[in-house]
Structure 1
Amino acid sequence: MKFYVVAMVVCSLVMCQMTYAQAPIVTHDELKQALVKSDNARKENLAQVRTFFSSDVARKAFAVAHLDPDRVQKAVSTLNSDELAKLAVQTRQVQSDFAAGALTNQQITYILIALGTAVVVLIAVK
């Protein structure tokens, strides 16, 4: 009797495992949508950061710090998605603070120098 109970439990577990193995956890469409969403987010973040670093204020700040703006722009392109997303958030915050009058030109210059230098250093470390 014990043997039959154990055999039934084992058969039940095997059948459950076979059922799970047949159904994909993530469908092809879900995976494709996630990739498209991730790609779109990266493109938006890249555009945000490039626009920020190509502004006149940024170019002047980079000139003060003797940073090549083209080198910074190229370095931005090589950041991974997480680093780029964090940088995009920071640039949005700086832009909104500047637009609201919360930052002076000198503060913006220091922030731009710090962000530009951080980007170049991140790429140099890789």
Structure 2
Amino acid sequence: MNEYRILIAPLPDADGGGYVAYIPDLQGCMSDGETPEEALANLRDAYAEWIDTYNKLGREIPEPGTYGRAMKAKHHEFDERIEKLDADVKDLRERAEQFSAWLRFSELTGVEPDGPSPSFAPKLC
């Protein structure tokens, strides 16, 4: 258990107070207690049961640090998605500005530019 990162946090009074201790790498491996020390002692028992259950079920036990690496990967994926959305929004704004200018030209001159509407114009059914 010493290799795994252990987190201990206070519980709100609405949840009974005390403390919760858990191991993020081992999903569901947690316990609680009135004090941080009691929560940690109870977590040692929960850890032993968690490992025993996973072994009996033939499941692979995650390596220490697995949760942190997974969260970093998710964070990186999230950052990439945000960058893509930012680029898409910028492109849509540029298209909207171009289309607005095209409409203003058409309204002011009464003349539509030759050919089909520009590629930035919305497609009408």
Normalising to structure 2: TM-score of the pair? 0.36
Q: TM-score, normalised by structure 1?
A: 0.36
Q: Which has the higher helix share?
A: 1
Q: Which structure has the larger Rg over C-alpha atoms?
A: 2
Structure with greater contact order relative to length (CA < 8 Å, sep ≥ 6)? 1
